Amino acid sequence: MIDFTFTDEQEMFRKASREFAENRVAPFVPEMEKTGKTSPELVKALAEAEMMAVTIPEEYGGLGLGFVARLIALEEISRISVATAMMLQVFALGIDPIVRFGSEAQKKRYLPPLATGERLASVAVTEPTGGSDPAGGRTTYVKDGDGYVISGRKCFITNSHVADTITVLAKDETNPKAFSAFIIPKGTEGFKATHEEHKVGMKGCNTGELTLDKCRVGAESLLGEEGKGLRVTMSAIGDVGRGGMVGCSLGVQTACLEASIKFANERVLYGKPISALQGIQNKVAEMKIDLEAGRLLAYRAAALQDRGERSSNEFAVAKYFTTEAAQKAAKIAVDIHGGYGCMEEFAVSRYLRDAFVLGPSAGTSDIMKVIIARWVLG
């Protein structure tokens, strides 16, 4: 049976997420746009609303609500602030490898403080050598007694300067085919957040570089099996990272549609609102079609994920579709606003800048097509 309705609990969670976004997140947006900095008060608000606990199992202090719930929260928060949704989505991305691959000791140590927001997570895979080719990375590790020494540089890492519990992918210096993942707490000697990026959009969501300079970690840092680190990190990016970008994109699409409807009903030309013009109606209809289609793709993938089934291919389809649709919706929304669309007072100019940042994160549209082609061609 296919049932496209949300449960009462999910509807309540959506309502609560919307209220949270409108009342607690929206006030931070002007400051984030101005400074480009992550507000610690906003992180605190997310933690108080238990937003970091959504995907963490109850036995480790989380809410255990799953990935449909997470998508609901991201959609609602992104409708108000994509930057905040992006930050939150990557907290969950950083949590996922520990939930799926962590030892009991690692789960007990890290998950309860990650659920309360006392600790904040991220995943560092991308390097200056190219994010589309993670196996081409040059960050390496060598065994050193009962631990490892890691050296290299990671770039474009979300929450680089905010997170303190980071899963880092590194290559075995003696075997370039073997990668391992390590949980590295901030404060570990030789591990530093360095350059902070200034993005065109998603201002207030921190992105930057991490350097590892002969960073020594104990054996307890190894996450999952030694030599199987690509699976640990890429499965998190495939399911949770892509799923998160989908949530962020749907929020942008919704915000663009709502702003366009409002403006089209208020702007009067030729003696009537421009919403009466068929050319404008077609644009609004296109945005609605893309939003409806995107939501179906997104929630189908998240429902599979909640059932414990493979969802990375479905998320690749949804990620391709929704990030492209968000960019299209933002361009249409700016167009509908005429000259006002180019003015900073109108949020649609922010949506356009934010929408373009959705593209590369968790894999570009080209890479989504590579994944989808591999899926269908076998």
Q: Which stretches of the chain bind ligand FAD, using CB under 6 A?
A: 90, 122-126, 130-132, 156-158, 207, 357, 360-364, 366-367, 370
Q: Is 365 exposed, middle or buried (0-12, 13-18, 19+ CB in 10 A)?
A: middle
DSSP state of 240: I
How many whole angstroms separate alpha carbon 87 and alpha carbon 42? 10
Q: Which is nearer to ligand FAD, 152 or 363 (CB)?
A: 363
> What minimum distance in Å lies between the beta carbon of 90 and ligand FAD?
5
> What minimum distance in Å lies between the beta carbon of 213 and ligand FAD?
19
Q: Which is nearer to ligand FAD, 89 or 106 (CB)?
A: 89
Q: Which is nearer to ligand FAD, 102 or 131 (CB)?
A: 131
> What minimum distance in Å lies between the beta carbon of 336 and ligand FAD?
26
> What minimum distance in Å lies between the beta carbon of 314 and ligand FAD?
19
Q: Which is nearer to ligand FAD, 86 or 334 (CB)?
A: 86
E strand intervals along 159-190: 165-172, 175-185
> What minimum distance in Å lies between the beta carbon of 368 and ligand FAD?
9
How many whole angstroms separate alpha carbon 77 and alpha carbon 70? 11
Q: Is 98 exposed, middle or buried (0-12, 13-18, 19+ CB in 10 A)?
A: buried
Q: Which is nearer to ligand FAD, 205 or 257 (CB)?
A: 205
The answer to whether 131 and 274 are in contact (CB under 8 A) is no
The answer to whether 336 and 316 are in contact (CB under 8 A) is no
Q: What residue has token string 């549609």?
A: 257
Residue with CB nearest ligand FAD?
Answer: 131
